[in-house]
A and B are shown apart, each in its own frame.
Chain A
Amino acid sequence: MKNKKLNLAIFGLALLAPFALYPVFLMKVLCFALFACAFNLLLGFAGLLSFGHAIFLGTGAYVTGYLMLTYSITPEIGIVAGVIVSALVGLVYGKLAVKREGIYFAMVTLALAQLMFFFYLQAPFTGGEDGLQGVPRGALFGLIDLTDNMVMYYFVLAIFVIGFLLIYRTVHSPFGQVLKAIRENEPRAISLGYKVNQYKLLAFVLSAALAGLAGSTKALVFQLASLNDVHWFMSGEVVLMTLLGGMGTIWGPVLGAVTIVGLQNFLASGPLANYIHVVMGVVFILCVLAFRNGLVGELQRLVKKNF
């Protein structure tokens, strides 16, 4: 990584954060940050705008929630199962979607996500409108009880770091190079002999799996998997987080998630509680109009200019 000191400082801050802030809030931030990073892998580095990414978050959450409730398995197995099922859904959806480009790609992902939403609404194992409540966190490897929020926080942080490093590596891998080439100039990549749809599909599956990881973890944190996780609101929210933070940057989605989740929490207890969506809308408009590169993108530009 370019800026080792900065990365270490952020990691140190994350280690100390639960002593200053409410751990459940921090875990929520981490889950959404991972979700946004996964989304950014697809949008920022493969140039593919998915409008149905909540489906992978929700699939992870439902699978893990259902398995934890029904069978007495350990949380790491529940999470692995959630990731695998999300990746499989991603494989099927990706196969259908990568054949289309631009707005059509977005429409296909949205349509497929809506389909899945109504499936989850009706399916017997999701609890319908109520969702899956009281999901047990269990004991990690059967040894470490995760009921305590502080313990759970470090578990979530570890998952986030693993996911984040995997994304970082993917972006800076031979595969990542080809992905960037496709984003930059797809016809040229084809003319060099790359079967671009296969690369897009792998990016899609990776992104879906990581979004599933975020969802599985979230289900354990809140001990809940609900329709909120698969709703298209959620798909929109992750777009907002990524754009606000700066798409195509490594830290952008993290900062975007911190900002959005922080803002929502802050507003929820204030006089603007009923106007959260209005405020989010204003933030979105400001972001699109004033700083299109996102917070991190603009920061990088400032640093480049002045140093």
Chain B
Amino acid sequence: MSQDYILESRNLIKEFKGFTAVDDVNLKIKRGTIHALIGPNGAGKTTVFNLLTKFLTPTKGQLLFNGKDITKEDSASIARLGVVRSFQISAVFPHLTVVENVRIALQRKRNDSFFFWRSEKKLDELNDRALELLDSVGLRDFASARAVDLPYGRKRSLEIATTLALDPELLLLDEPTQGMGHEDVSVVSELIKEVGKNRTILMVEHNLNVVADLSDTITVLQRGAILTEGDYQTVSADPRVREAYMGVEADQPVNDESQPENNNNVTGAAV
């Protein structure tokens, strides 16, 4: 059964000074699927993300990657195994150029990252591959711009290109379309769909249109615990989800993307 699931959490618990942010979460990510994690603000989505990548240490519970226990590994080691995450705020290296951003990721698999006596010109060998990756996210023309000068949507594209450079088995995307205009949202969601064809993706996402469009499986979190799980039809038909996630009466429509931001009845523990 561990063959079917790329990542598994067992009885995952995270407590912050008596407050349980993540409460007994058993998450199973099926290989080759796009899995979405949704829930109202403060439901613990980002905390779960941080636990899965060991940016936070679980209070209790176990993490399995390809059936292997990774609970004790540190963040960098988990990334090396092939679980690469993005961040809520766009994670680029602002004062490096766009192509250098991607190169940093490509460089990791070489053995010269500690070579302080070697010229950085050696890294130009990576440029072809880096440009190829930039091409795949439509950033080739921006290769020599500094990342900080890119518009927001393109920063997210750069972030995805950088992540793809590691050729990860599992991508964890934390709100990939957050704060984007309409056009950028469709660009990025197309990109995710494309990337998801031969990879597994777990994403936290607020935009329910994107979630409905992309996800094979949806897990709904509420107050740190799993409320329900299933495909979009199942989940959106669940009256508890409407109640908890939308904070609205059960007969109101679900696919309204502006709603979740207004729901603050759960105190925030998101990191």
Residues of A within 8 A of B72 (CB): none
B5 at interface by CB-CB < 8 Å: no
Chain A residues with CB under 8 Å of B60's CB are: none
Q: Could you tell me the distance between the alpha carbons of A174 and B104 in the complex, rounded to whole angstroms? A: 9
A188 adjacent to chain B (CB < 8 Å)? yes
Q: Which of A174, A187, A193, A206 meets B120, CB within 8 Å?
A: A174
Determine if A194 and B116 form an interchain contact, defined as CB atoms under 8 angstroms apart.
Answer: no
B254 within 8 A of A: no
- Per a CB cutoff under 8 Å, which of B105, B115, B118 touches A192? B105
Interface magnitude class on chain A: 20 to 34
Chain B residues within an 8 Å CB radius of A202: 114, 116
Whether the pair A184, B96 counts as a contact (CB closer than 8 A) is yes
Residue of B nearest to A41 (CB): B116
Q: Does B136 contact A (CB under 8 A)?
A: no
Cross-chain contact of A193 among B117, B119, B166 (Cβ < 8 A) = B166
Q: Does B179 count as interface, using CB distance less than 8 angstroms?
A: no
List A contacts of B74 (CB < 8 A).
195
Looking at chain B's contact residues, is the secondary structure mostly helix, strand, loop, or mixed? Answer: loop
A188 in complex: contacting residue of B93, B107, B116, CB < 8 Å: B93
Please tell me if A191 contacts chain B, counting CB pairs below 8 Å.
yes
A185 and B103 contact, CB distance less than 8 A: no
Q: Is the CB of B79 within 8 A of A191?
A: yes
Chain A residues with CB under 8 Å of B95's CB are 180, 184
Known: A184-B95, A192-B84, A194-B108. A177 touches B116 (CB 8 A): no
A166 to B80, CA, bound (A): 30
Complex partner residue of B113 from A169, A178, A188, A191, CB under 8 angstroms? A178
Q: A169-B119, A189-B104 are known contacts. Are A175 and B76 too (CB-CB below 8 A)?
A: no
A170 within 8 A of B: yes
Q: Which residue of B lies closest to A188 (CB)?
A: B91
B85 within 8 A of A: yes
User: Chain A residues with Cβ under 8 A from B116's Cβ?
Assistant: 169-170, 173, 175-176, 202, 206
The residue in chain B whose Cβ has the minimal distance to the Cβ of A192 is: B105
Question: Given the complex, which residues of A lie within 8 Å of B112, measured CB to CB?
Answer: 174
Q: Does B170 contact A (CB under 8 A)?
A: no
Instruction: Tell whether, in the assembled complex, residue A177 and residue B75 are in contact, meaning their CB atoms are under 8 Å apart.
Output: no
* Shortest Cβ gap from A250 to chain B (Å): 14
Complex-state Cα separation, A196 to B76, whole angstroms: 8
Chain A residue at minimum C-beta to C-beta distance from B104: A181
Task: Tell me the smallest distance from the CB of B147 to a CB of chain A, in Å.
Answer: 9
- Whether A172 and B79, one on each chain, are in contact in the complex, defined by CB atoms closer than 8 angstroms, is no
Check if A193 sits within 8 Å of B108, measured CB to CB. Answer: yes
Contact of B92 among A177, A180, A188 (CB under 8 A): A188
Min CB distance, B158 to chain A, in Å?
11
B122 within 8 A of A: yes
A144 at the interface (CB under 8 A from B): no
Q: How far is the CA of A194 from the CA of B94 in the complex (A)?
A: 18
Residue-wise interface mask of B (216-248) relative to A, using a CB-CB cutoff of 8 A (1 in contact, 0 not): 000000000000000000000000000000000
In the bound assembly, the distance between CA atoms of A173 and B122 in angstroms comes to: 8
* Minimal Cβ-Cβ distance residue in B for A190: B75
> Taking A174-B118, A184-B94, A184-B96 as contacts, is the C-beta distance between A193 and B76 under 8 angstroms?
yes
A154 is an interface residue with CB less than 8 A from chain B: no
CB <8 Å contact, B91 and A187:
yes
A192 with B110: CB separation less than 8 A: no
Specify which chain A residues have a CB less than 8 angstroms from the CB of B92 in the assembled complex.
185, 188
Given the complex of chains A and B, what is the CA–CA distance between A246 and B123 in angstroms? Answer: 27
Q: How far is the CA of A216 from the CA of B102 in the complex (A)?
A: 41
Q: Specify which chain B residues have a CB less than 8 angstroms from the CB of A176 in the assembled complex.
A: 116, 120
Residues of B close to A199: CB separation below 8 A: 113-114
A residues 176-228 touching B (CB-CB < 8 Å): 176-178, 180-181, 184-185, 187-196, 198-199, 202, 206
A-to-B contact residues, CB < 8 Å: 166, 169-170, 172-178, 180-181, 184-185, 187-196, 198-199, 202, 206
15 contacts between A and B (CB under 8 A): A174-B112, A176-B120, A177-B107, A185-B92, A185-B94, A188-B87, A188-B91, A190-B76, A193-B77, A193-B80, A193-B84, A193-B166, A194-B76, A195-B76, A202-B114
Closest 3 CB pairs of A and B: A193-B79, A184-B93, A175-B116
